[in-house]
Amino acid sequence: MRKKSILTLLLMILLVFSFLPEIYASTNLSFTLVSPSFAFENYNDDYMLVKLSGFINVGMQDEYLIPRKNIKILIPNGAKFISYRISKIKKTELPGIYKIPTGESPVSEGGEVYKLNKKTRGIYTPLHLTGIENERGVRFLVFTYYPFLYDGAKLTYVKEIKFDITLRTGKKERVYKNKPDSSFLNYYSFDSFYSDSISNPTYDYLIITIDRAKKLAEEHRKFLESRGVKTEVITLSNIPSTGKDKAESIRNFIKEEYNKNGIRYVLLIGSLESIPMRYMYTGEEGDEENSNIPTDFYYRDLTGDWDSNGDGYFGVPGEDEIDFHPEVNVGRIPFDNLANIKNVLEKSRRFMDKSEEERKKKILSLGAWLSMNGEDGRWKDDTDGGEINQRIFELYFKDKGFTNRGLYELSGIKPSLVSNQADDEITAKNFVIYQRSFKPGLIQWEAHGAWNSTARKIWATDYNRNGQPDRDEFKWETFISNEVARYFDDTSPAIFVSGSCLNLYPDRDSLGKNILESGGVAFIGNSRTGWYFPNLAHNSFETNPSHYSLRAIVLKELSEGKSQGEAINNALKWYADTYYTQLTQIRKTLAHNIYDLNLFGDPIVGLYTLEEKHTSPQIISTKPENNEVDVAPSTIISVKFDRSMDENSINESSFLLSTDAVYVNGNITYNDNEFTAYFRPLDPLKRGATYTVTIKSTVKDKDGNYLASDFNFIFTVAGGETQRDFTLQWTDIDEGFHIDLKSLYIKYDKETITFKVTSYRKWSNPETDFSIRLYIDIDNNPDTGMGKDYNGNGEDYLIWIGTYMNKFYHDVNKWDKDDKIWKHVDDVLDYSIENNSKTAVFTISRKYFQGNQFNYWLGIYDEIYDEFDYYPQGEDNYYEKFVFKEITKPLSVIKIYPEDNSIVDSDTNVYVVFSDDIIQDTLNENSFFVTKGKRKVPGNISYDEALHKATFSPENSLEEGATYEVHITTDITSKSGSNLKEEHIWKFMIRKETSSDWDLTIVSPRNVNRSIDISKVYVKLVENRIFFKIETYDTIQDPLRVGFIVRMDTDNNPSTGIPLYPYGGNGEDYTLFVGGNYGKLSGILYKWDKDKWKEEASLPDFEIEQGKNYAILSIDLTSIENPKVINYWVAVSDDPERFPIVDQAPGDSYFATYQIVGKKGWIHQFTDIDEGTKFDLKDTYVMHDDTNVYFKITTYRGWIDPFEDGVFFEIDIDADQNSETGDTNGMGEDFYIGIYPDEEGVMKGYIAIYAEGEWKKYQDIESFK
Give the pLDDT score at 1003: 84
Count of CA atoms in the C-beta half-sphere (13 A) of 917: 19
Give the pLDDT score at 921: 79
Spatial distance between the Cα atoms of 401 and 506, rounded to a whole number of angstroms: 34
Residue 1181 has pLDDT above 70, yes or no: yes
Torsion of CA 714, 719, 724, 725, to 10 degrees: 20
Fold: same for 619-717 and 727-883: yes
pLDDT band at 503 (very low <50, low <70, confident <90, very high): very high
Is 727-883 assigned to CATH 2.60.40? yes
**What is the pLDDT averaged over residues 401-424?**
94
Its CATH class, for the domain covering 6-194, is mainly beta
Residue 15 has pLDDT above 70, yes or no: no
Spatial distance between the Cα atoms of 355 and 229, rounded to a whole number of angstroms: 20
DSSP alpha helices (H): ranges in 393-489?
428-438, 482-485
Give the pLDDT score at 4: 28
Q: Could you tell me which residues are beta bridge partners of residue 868? A: 861
- Tens of pLDDT, residues 1076-1126: 988 899 999 999 987 788 899 999 889 999 988 899 999 999 999 988 889
Which residue type does 1095 have? E
- Tens of pLDDT, residues 716-729: 887 654 334 788 88
Name the percent of the chain lying above pLDDT 70.
Answer: 92
Fold of 619-717: Immunoglobulin-like (2.60.40)
Spatial distance between the Cα atoms of 191 and 167, rounded to a whole number of angstroms: 19
Sort 420 into a burial class: Cβ within 10 Å, 0-12 / 13-18 / 19+. Answer: exposed
**What is the pLDDT averaged over residues 498-507?**
92
- Residue 1149: partners with Cβ closer than 8 Å, 6 or more residues away: none
pLDDT band at 447 (very low <50, low <70, confident <90, very high): very high
Q: Could you tell me which residues are beta bridge partners of residue 897? A: 911
User: How many residues would you count in the chain?
Assistant: 1265
Q: Could you tell me which residues are beta bridge partners of residue 623? A: 638
Give the pLDDT score at 289: 60
Both ends of the chain: CA-CA distance in Å? 72
Give the pLDDT score at 935: 78
**What is the pLDDT averaged over residues 104-113?**
59
CB 1059 within 8 A of CB 1068: no
Its CATH class, for the domain covering 893-984, is mainly beta
Give the pLDDT score at 606: 95
> At CA 739, angle to CA 736 and CA 744, rounded to 5?
100
Q: Which helix (H) or strand (E) holds 815?
A: strand 807-816
Give the pLDDT score at 286: 54
DSSP helix/strand/coil, 941: strand
CB 324 within 8 A of CB 573: yes
Report the range out of 25-39, 92-106, 1024-1038, 1166-1180 with the highest average pLDDT.
1024-1038
Which residue type does 471 have? R
Spatial distance between the Cα atoms of 409 and 458, rounded to a whole number of angstroms: 8
- Tens of pLDDT, residues 968-1018: 998 898 877 788 888 999 999 988 755 457 888 888 877 766 788 898 999
Report the range out of 778-787, 1070-1079, 1229-1238 with the highest average pLDDT.
1070-1079
- Tens of pLDDT, residues 626-660: 988 878 788 899 999 989 999 999 999 999 999 98
Give the pLDDT score at 847: 86
Instruction: Compute the mean pLDDT over every residue in the chain, rounded to the nearest whole number.
Output: 86
Report the range out of 75-79, 272-276, 772-776 with the highest average pLDDT.
772-776
Fold of 995-1155: Immunoglobulin-like (2.60.40)
Residue 334 has pLDDT above 90, yes or no: yes
CB 146 within 8 A of CB 50: no
Give the pLDDT score at 1265: 77
- Tens of pLDDT, residues 944-958: 988 899 999 987 778
Domain parsing of the chain, residue ranges? 6-194, 619-717, 727-883, 893-984, 995-1155, 1163-1261
The pairing of strands 984-990 and 902-904 is parallel
Give the pLDDT score at 722: 38
Give the pLDDT score at 115: 56
The lowest-confidence range among 5-9, 334-338, 786-790, 883-887 is 5-9
Give the pLDDT score at 713: 94
Give the pLDDT score at 886: 61
Q: Which helix (H) or strand (E) holds 340?
A: helix 338-351
**What is the pLDDT averaged over residues 825-835?**
89
- Tens of pLDDT, residues 672-691: 988 999 999 998 898 888 99
- Tens of pLDDT, residues 297-322: 999 999 888 898 888 889 988 888 88
CA-based nearest residue to 817, from 798, 800, 794, 799: 794
Residue 59 has pLDDT above 90, yes or no: no
pLDDT band at 1160 (very low <50, low <70, confident <90, very high): very low
CB 1160 within 8 A of CB 1185: yes
C-beta pairs of 8-14 under 8 Å, 24+ apart in sequence: 8/37, 9/34, 9/35, 9/36, 9/37, 9/159, 10/34, 11/35, 11/36, 11/37, 13/185
- Tens of pLDDT, residues 898-946: 999 998 888 789 999 999 888 887 898 889 999 988 778 888 899 998 8
> At CA 287, angle to CA 281 and CA 288, rounded to 5?
35
Residue 1045 has pLDDT above 80, yes or no: yes
Residue 65 has pLDDT above 70, yes or no: yes
Give the pLDDT score at 920: 83
Residue 30 has pLDDT above 50, yes or no: yes
Q: Quick check: pTM over 0.85?
A: no
Give the pLDDT score at 676: 94
Give the pLDDT score at 120: 67
